[in-house]
A and B are shown apart, each in its own frame.
Chain A
Amino acid sequence: MKEGKSAKLNHQQQQQQQQQHQNGHLSPFKFAKLVDPEASWDKDQLGDVLHWIRQVVAIVCGLLSGAIPLVGGIWIVVFLAISSAIIYGYYAIILKVDEEDFGGHGALLQEGLFASVTLFLLAWILVYSLAHF
Chain B
Amino acid sequence: MASTIFSASKYSDSLTVVGISICTAIICESISWLLIYRTTSYKTLRSSIDKASKKLESMKTTSNPNLIAKKSSKTKKIDRFESSLKESNRDLSLFKFKSGAVVALVLFVVFGLLNSLFEGKAVAKLPFVPVRIIQKMSHRGLHGHDATDCSMAFLYFLCSISIRTNLQKFLGFSPPRGAPGGGLFPMPDPKTS
The number of chain B residues with a CB under 8 A from chain A is 40
Which chain B residue has the least Cβ–Cβ distance from A111? B186
Contact of A122 among B11, B129, B130, B162 (CB under 8 A): B162
Given contacts A114-B187, A115-B165, A129 and B171 within 8 Å (CB-CB): no
Chain B 142-176 interface 0/1 with A at a Cβ cutoff of 8 Å (1 = within): 00000000100001001101100110011111000
Interface magnitude class on chain A: 35 or more
Which chain A residue has the least Cβ–Cβ distance from B51? A21
B161: A residues at CB distance < 8 A: 114-115, 118
Contact residues of A with B, CB < 8 Å?
A: 21-26, 43-44, 47-48, 51-52, 55, 65-66, 69-73, 75-76, 101, 110, 112-115, 118-119, 121-122, 124-126, 128-133
B170: A residues at CB distance < 8 A: 25
B14: A residues at CB distance < 8 A: 125-126, 129-130
B110: A residues at CB distance < 8 A: none
Distance A132 CA – B5 CA, assembled complex (angstroms): 11
Distance A75 CA – B154 CA, assembled complex (angstroms): 19
Which chain B residue has the least Cβ–Cβ distance from A128? B127
Given contacts A21-B47, A114-B185, A130-B9, A125 and B127 within 8 Å (CB-CB): yes
